[in-house]
Structure 1
Amino acid sequence: MVKPYGAVAANTGSRLSRMDTCNPGGTEAVEVKIGVQHAPREIVLESTQTAEEVESAVAKALEGTSKLFTLTDEHGRRVIVPAERLAYVEIGEQTVRKVGFGNL
């Protein structure tokens, strides 16, 4: 049987089908800027974690509960910074990115 162009079998677990079932309106992302002491540039990433989760991770790192500050970006990559090297963390507003085509 020939499938139409772009068709995906139901049980392939494609990323698009998982995203559509979890959040049909799109994906939510938070822009996070991390300043590291003695580093000339800041780290900028889009995280799928909520602003509250990022703030909680920063608080744990600064109070000494965790020695590492760890975030995961929207592509699944992890950013790990030693807690004693944090200079600042700027958390942007949570934005919704639309998936697919729609009216502009």
Structure 2
Amino acid sequence: MNRSEAITVEIRIGIANTARELSFESAQSADAVTSTIQKALEASESFVTFTDVKGNTYIVPTTGITFIEVGTEESRRVGFVA
């Protein structure tokens, strides 16, 4: 039996003037994601960068953010059961 668990958190970001929201899973903790967002907004940075569990990178302009929803941390089983 080969099993491991990975912690993921779902992130949803609303962007002004778009019909859809950006939604992805991150391997970062909910606290780390929240901290990254808060620091970017407080420093008036022009964008914030996220990386999802698949390695895709998202660059989001902070001026266009209408909302950010950071889900709860969930453990997800990864591997095979034999």
TM-score, structure 2 length as denominator? Answer: 0.86
Distance 1:71 1:49 in 2: 9
Runs of 4+ in 1 over 6 A off after TM superposition: none
Aligned to 2:78: 99
The CA deviation at 1:27 is 1.0
Structure number with larger C-alpha Rg: 1
In 1, Cα distance between equivalents of 2:80 and 2:73: 21
In the alignment, what sits opposite 1:36?
A: 15
Displacement of 1:57 after TM fit? 1.4
CA-atom RMSD, angstroms? 1.7
The alignment partner of 2:73 has SS state of: strand
Aligned partner of 1:7 in structure 2 is: none
Q: Which has the higher contact order (CA 8 A, sep 6+)?
A: 2
Match of 2:35 in 1: 56
Residue segments in structure 2 that go unaligned for 5+ positions in a row:
none
Go from structure 1 to structure 2 and tell me whether the alpha carbon gap of 1:81 and 1:40 turns closer, same or farther (over 3 Å shift). same
Within a 5 Å distance, the mapping from 1:1-104 to structure 2 comes to 25-102=4-81
Give the letter aligned to residue 44 of structure 1: S
Name the one with the larger strand percent. 2
State the TM-score, normalized to the length of structure 1. 0.69
Q: Displacement of 1:50 after TM fit?
A: 0.8
Report how many aligned residue pairs link the two structures.
80
- Tell me the SS of whatever aligns to 1:84: helix
Q: What residue identity is the alignment partner of 1:53?
A: A
Residue identity (%):
36
Unmatched runs of 5 consecutive residues or more in structure 1: 1-19
